[in-house]
């Protein structure tokens, strides 16, 4: 079969644009309304998307936010559903759509996470995936009674964590449960494997008390783009969620991950690289531009600055909003995002105000504004010129931002033969492979 794009729907309850929820047509209460998620998931499945992707944060991210800024944001840092609970409900009302949940190796323990995701995978018929992240936020760390870990320590812990989870998912062989009523044999002990893991960070006996799913175990997704993050992705991930804003950088990242994967003995097509893209699509370019400018005009300066501080992982106190961005200290947070925005500021001579306005729309991911044909053309170029295997679509507001993508962009991609007409299988891994 010809190569086709993989598509994920990345859902923030308030939309990707930090002011998108303020549009008159936007839904502002998705963080408490499951029915809207159900409708969105079914719409994504009708459009033959591979997966619905839910991000997470383990607390109200108050560290960089003033009380005023925090009260004015509708972002996931303020309120959202817990991902595994939400995705279990979504899995019950869909049949083919993959369900991807974010969980941190910094705050979870391996056995509990392995058990929860294995259960989601079993309940969904083999459609679950774990988005592997490490966490740096002090507000979240305080909820677990620990101090934030340094970047290197987070990834050292993550490497052992992921390997242990994989071992736990291999506790049962696929044919371990004969359920022989006549012979009275429920499971075959020879096909059950205790792990007895003892490492630097974890000691776990096992085995896992959840049977394997139709796809064996959940798909592994990884979202870090620093050096250690790339190594973790190249060793373990089946899907890499990344952020680039131009074709050149995306091609370099794509080539680097595939080279690292080959160094670890993996086949080039063993993982799918899927940058995030936020699309403002309309029937005309002028209409799309007007919608984008409407959202930009609604950015609260306090929210924009606090959001930029979160992305950079450093304090901006004492920096003038309308002067060029000065040198900033290194970050213990998302190092790839820190480098991306500082590089953007230096190359273009941006002020802090201009930089937070630039960050507001796609938060470091690709932002496309235009007609369906224009947007589809850019996505096709990235796909065909070695920058992406597909995209995580990040609607700027909901539900209209996703409806616009389905109405204007998807038919253009389909007319080029770049997206599927029907699902290849029933499990997420089967669909990602085709």
**Whole-angstrom Cα distance, residue 285 to residue 144?**
47
User: What is the per-residue pLDDT for 329?
Assistant: 60
The torsion defined by the Cα of 1, 430, 380 and 372, in degrees rounded to 10, comes to 120
N residues, the chain: 434
Q: Where are the domains of the chain?
A: 6-282+365-433
**Whole-angstrom Cα distance, residue 8 to residue 253?**
19
196 among annotated binding-site residues: no
Kindly report the CATH number that applies to the domain delimited by 6-282+365-433.
Answer: 3.20.20.30
Q: Is 340 exposed, middle or buried (0-12, 13-18, 19+ CB in 10 A)?
A: buried
66 among annotated binding-site residues: no
**Whole-angstrom Cα distance, residue 375 to residue 379?**
6
Least confident of 71-75, 150-154, 283-287, 302-306: 71-75
Among residues 312, 285, 280, 310, the alpha carbon closest in space to that of 296 is found at 280
51 touches 99 (CB < 8 A):
yes
User: What is the per-residue pLDDT for 77?
Assistant: 63
SS3 state at 423: coil
Percent of the chain with pLDDT over 90: 69
Does residue 64 register a pLDDT over 60?
no
Residue-wise pLDDT tens digits, 188-205: 999 999 888 999 999 999
User: What is the per-residue pLDDT for 386?
Assistant: 96
Does residue 269 register a pLDDT over 90?
no
**Whole-angstrom Cα distance, residue 368 to residue 18?**
16
Which of the two residues, 70 and 334, has the higher pLDDT score? 70
User: First and final CA of the chain: distance in angstroms?
Assistant: 8
2 touches 420 (CB < 8 A):
no
Does residue 311 register a pLDDT over 70?
yes
Vertex 103, ends 84 and 262: CA angle to 5°? 120
225 among annotated binding-site residues: yes
36 among annotated binding-site residues: no
Residue-wise pLDDT tens digits, 412-424: 999 999 999 999 9
**Whole-angstrom Cα distance, residue 412 to residue 339?**
34
124 among annotated binding-site residues: no
**Whole-angstrom Cα distance, residue 262 to residue 274?**
18
Own/partner pairs for 77-81, CB < 8 Å, 24+ apart? Answer: 77/310, 78/31, 79/13, 79/31, 79/32, 80/12, 80/13, 80/31, 80/56, 81/13, 81/31, 81/34, 81/37, 81/54
User: What is the per-residue pLDDT for 357?
Assistant: 87
197 among annotated binding-site residues: no
Q: Tell me which residue has tokens 């996505």.
A: 379
Residue-wise pLDDT tens digits, 338-391: 677 777 777 778 888 888 888 888 778 999 999 999 999 999 999 999 999 999
User: What is the per-residue pLDDT for 214?
Assistant: 95
User: What is the per-residue pLDDT for 97?
Assistant: 98
User: What is the per-residue pLDDT for 360?
Assistant: 85
Q: Is 198 exposed, middle or buried (0-12, 13-18, 19+ CB in 10 A)?
A: exposed
> What predicted TM-score, i.e. pTM, was given to this entire model?
0.91
Residue 142 CA, distance from chain mean position = 24
């Amino acid at each position: 079969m010809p190569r086709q794009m993989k598509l994920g729907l990345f859902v923030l309850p308030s939309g990707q644009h930090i002011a998108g929820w303020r549009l008159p047509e936007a839904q502002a209460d998705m963080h408490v309304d499951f029915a809207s998620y159900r409708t969105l998931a079914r719409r994504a499945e009708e459009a033959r998307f591979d997966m619905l992707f839910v991000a997470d944060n383990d607390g109200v991210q108050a560290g960089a936010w003033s009380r005023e800024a925090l009260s004015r944001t509708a972002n996931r840092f303020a309120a959202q559903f817990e991902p595994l609970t939400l995705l279990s409900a979504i899995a019950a009302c869909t049949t083919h759509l993959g369900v991807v949940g974010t969980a941190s190796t910094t705050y979870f323990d391996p056995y509990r996470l392995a058990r929860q995701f294995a259960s989601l995978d079993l309940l969904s018929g083999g459609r679950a995936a774990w988005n592997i992240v490490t966490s740096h936020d002090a507000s979240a760390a305080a909820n677990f009674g620990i101090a934030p870990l340094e970047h290197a320590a987070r990834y050292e812990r993550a490497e052992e964590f992921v390997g242990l989870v994989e071992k736990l998912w291999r506790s049962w062989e696929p044919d371990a449960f004969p359920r022989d009523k006549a012979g009275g044999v429920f499971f075959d002990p020879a096909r059950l494997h205790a792990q007895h893991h003892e490492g630097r960070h974890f000691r776990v006996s096992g085995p896992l008390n959840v049977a394997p799913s139709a796809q064996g175990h959940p798909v592994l997704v990884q979202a870090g783009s620093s050096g250690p993050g790339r190594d973790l992705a190249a060793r373990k991930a089946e899907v890499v969620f990344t952020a680039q804003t131009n074709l050149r950088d995306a091609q370099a990242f794509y080539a680097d991950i595939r080279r690292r994967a080959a160094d670890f003995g993996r086949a080039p097509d063993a993982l799918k690289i899927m940058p995030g893209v936020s699309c403002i699509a309309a029937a005309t370019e002028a209409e799309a531009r007007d919608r984008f400018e409407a959202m930009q005009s609604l950015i609260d300066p306090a929210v924009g600055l606090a959001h930029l501080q979160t992305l950079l992982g450093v304090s901006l106190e004492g920096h003038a909003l309308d002067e060029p961005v000065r040198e900033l200290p290194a970050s213990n947070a998302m190092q790839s995002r820190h480098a991306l925005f500082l590089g953007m500021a230096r190359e273009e001579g941006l002020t802090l105000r201009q930089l937070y306005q630039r960050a507001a729309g796609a938060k470091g991911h690709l932002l496309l504004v235009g007609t369906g044909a224009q947007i589809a053309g850019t996505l096709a170029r990235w796909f065909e010129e070695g920058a992406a295997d597909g995209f995580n679509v990040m609607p700027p507001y909901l539900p209209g931002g996703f409806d616009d993508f389905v109405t204007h962009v998807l038919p253009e991609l389909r007319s080029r033969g770049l997206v599927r007409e029907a699902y290849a299988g029933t499990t997420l891994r089967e669909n990602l492979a085709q």
